[in-house]
Amino acid sequence: MDKKKVMIASLAIIVLLIIASKGYSHFKKKVDLMNIDSSAVDWNGKKNKESANQEATIAIPGFEKVTLKAKETKQEVNFHNPETNDCYFKLSLIHPNGSVLWTSNLIEPGKGMYEIELKETLSEGEYEDTILKYECFSLTDQSPLNGTEINLKLVVV
């Protein structure tokens, strides 16, 4: 009987070691797949860039929703180019069907638009996936810089 208990205990230990080994190797693979960047350091806030040749980042105001009036082309908005930017903005409001509702000229940093005129009137409703497109241009030679498109909900009342 003692031999039988020792044999069962030995088999149990072997099975547990196999399970533990498989679990460790599965965990190790998951860690390897995450590809953690070991050169990252603790974040202490924005630091000044060392090179004068690097351009500053561009601040882009975000919107979740823009509300406009139905059946009118003149609209009140609050679009602006933050004064911290070193670039011009050109903004476009694009309907989900792809038609351009409005496009600005170049907007200087620290300037904004409180009133715009749409190319067409809109019917009442909510228009998901409307795009507010930001094109950015250099202050010195107006060469194109990075831009972005923000998906938002256009609410027409």
| Mean pLDDT within 14-41 | 65
Query: Which pLDDT band, with edges at 50, 70 and 90, does 152 fall under?
Result: very high
The reported pLDDT for the residue numbered 94 is 97
Question: How many degrees, rounded to 5, is the angle at CA 109 between CA 84 and CA 61?
Answer: 70
Instruction: State the distance between the two ends of the chain, measured CA to CA, in whole angstroms.
Output: 86
**What is the per-residue pLDDT across 55-88, written as a single tens digit (0 to 9) for each?**
568 899 988 999 999 999 999 999 999 989 999 9
* Average pLDDT, integer, range 22-30: 61
Render 80-132 in DSSP notation, one character per residue. Answer: E--TT-SEEEEEEEE-TTS-EEEE---B-TT-EEEEEE-SS---SEEEEEEEE
- Cα–Cα distance, 83 to 88 (Å, whole number): 10
**Residue 7 DSSP SS3:** helix
* Domain ranges across the chain: 1-33, 65-156
pLDDT value at residue 49 = 47
Mean pLDDT of 5-33: 68
The topology (CATH level 3) of 65-156 is Immunoglobulin-like (2.60.40)
Q: What is the pLDDT of residues 80-120, one digit of tens each?
A: 999 899 999 999 999 999 999 999 999 999 999 899 999 99
Percent of the chain with pLDDT over 90: 57
